[in-house]
Amino acid sequence: MNMKKITLSLVGVLATVAMVPEASALPVFARQVGMACSACHFQHFPLLNAFGRAFKSSGFTMTGAQANIEGDGLSIPATVNAAVLTSMGYEKTNANKASAGNGTVVPGVNQSSNGSSTGGFFVASESGEASLFIGGRGSDFMGYLGEITLGNGAAAMDSMKTPILFDFDGTRAGIVFFSTNGQGASYGFETMNTGANAIHSITNTVGFNNQYVNAVSAQQYINTGAAATGASIVVNNGNGFINITKFASVGASNAGTAQGALSSPGTFVGLTSTYLRAAGNFDLAGWDTGVGIQSWSGSSINTDSVPNNAVAGFGIADTKATAVDFQAQGAFGDKPVGVYVTYANAPASGTVTNSFNTGTHNRSSFNVAAEIGVIPEKATIGAAVRFANSGVDDGTGTTPANGSNTKDNAIYLTGTYKLAQNLLGRFSYVHQSGSYWDLANGTGTNATEIGSSAYTLNLYALF
């Protein structure tokens, strides 16, 4: 079945099934405002509705039923709010190393004796997620959110942000300081659900090699969900926001290492890359609609690039990409529906590596995703399609850049079932196709070595 037929089939399915909202969210903020998770989230965590955008746009400062300690120049919750997120489940790919004569088959480690994938179970802190969140109001204009990952014998800071946003008659403006190991420069401030930031899309299961979120979001396909530390100048209100960020491509786990590697204890990483974001929200025939643009430019220190400067273990890499996105969240009758469309492009690496695309051709993707519900307050189904160029040459030319850009298309299916408001089961499936998956990899191909298809069963608990 070709991608055109698959797309038409998915459209047919989406057009004939209705859906309803569900809710599950970080209890950090539910406790602070004294509201159910569904007050902020469209269908389920982490998708935001209009009120969720307003809460985030305030810098996490809104309060509700929870008692506050008030004084001259002081307004903080009486309790420090925290939450735990855990996940567990099973994942399997169609990788089959023995089919290509690969000699590295290890029976019992997600492979049978003939080399085919046997899948694997994961639990919280061991491949599954185990995170502690702390956050909330610090004053009427300052908030905080921090995530600490737990497991593998240690705890480590994964992401943190401190928004300082002053209220000017309904418009908030100020600065957000942030650091993240994997959510990219957009982590500073983002409210759309298109995958413009790694956490905000219809899937909270990224999958092996990010295969699920890459099928849903073009921005994530071009690798913008990476380590970043920086400061964002933000202006926002109910009509949208502008975000101007200076950042470096190092995260919460290695920013201190990079600082120390610069040989002077008082020297810090330069924020020499630039991220620009503008998004608008408006009502379109009763649908909560948003459109936006993103731009990444410049270059900065990067832990993943080949070292070419004086900092041991670090190098300088370009951060160049652009993206546009669209979302519409509304209803057919009394049934909510969400539709998300994204396009992103990262140019090929030149003399300096582009951290978003190490290939010799442009890496680009066009993605369409939608989510619908089948049982009120209980179950949803979703789907996405991706039409992408991987940026990797197919090897048919006389040089690594003279051949053709390999194709990397995908279909993605997902379903969720809410056992409780804070207990969510999810099924995810992806099938990827195109010339990229036929490329040689070791003694096999990308399809046999990585696996072009996969499915995952997850259970998420938040409390």
Q: What is the pLDDT of residues 186-224, one digit of tens each?
A: 999 999 999 999 889 999 888 878 999 999 999 999 999
Give residue 168's pLDDT band: very low, low, confident or very high (50, 70, 90). very high
**According to DSSP H, which parts of 18-159 are helical?**
27-33, 50-57
Q: What is the pLDDT of residues 27-71, one digit of tens each?
A: 788 888 888 777 888 877 788 999 989 999 999 998 887 888 888
Which one has a higher pLDDT value, 453 or 316? 453
User: Rounded distance, CA 353 to CA 330, Å?
Assistant: 42
The Cα 390–Cα 356 span in angstroms is 11
* The pLDDT value given to residue 333: 82
Given this model, what pLDDT does residue 110 score? Answer: 56
pLDDT digits (tens, 9 = 90+) for 78-87: 888 899 988 8
Which DSSP category does 400 fall into? T
Q: Are 400 and 360 in contact (CB under 8 A)?
A: yes
Q: How far apart are CA 181 and CA 343, in angstroms?
A: 24
For residue 24, the model assigns a pLDDT of: 36
114 burial level (CB within 10 Å; 0-12, 13-18, 19+): exposed
Identity of residue 82: A
Q: Which residue has the higher pLDDT, 254 or 451?
A: 451
Number of residues that make up the chain? 463
Residue 18 is predicted with a pLDDT of 31
* More confident of the two residues 228 and 2: 228
Percent above pLDDT 70 for the chain: 80
Top-confidence residue, 2 or 366? 366
Confidence bin at 274 (pLDDT 50/70/90): very high
At residue 260, the 3 state secondary structure works out as helix
Whether 297 shows a pLDDT value over 50: the answer reads yes
* Res. 451: pLDDT tops 90: no
Task: Quote the pLDDT of residue 453.
Answer: 93
The token pair that represents 25 in the structure block: 């969210």
According to the model, what pLDDT value does residue 259 have? Answer: 55
- The mean predicted confidence, pLDDT, of the chain is 83
Q: What is the pTM of this model?
A: 0.87
Q: What is the pLDDT of residue 343?
A: 98
Angle at 103 between CA 100 and CA 107, to 5 degrees: 100
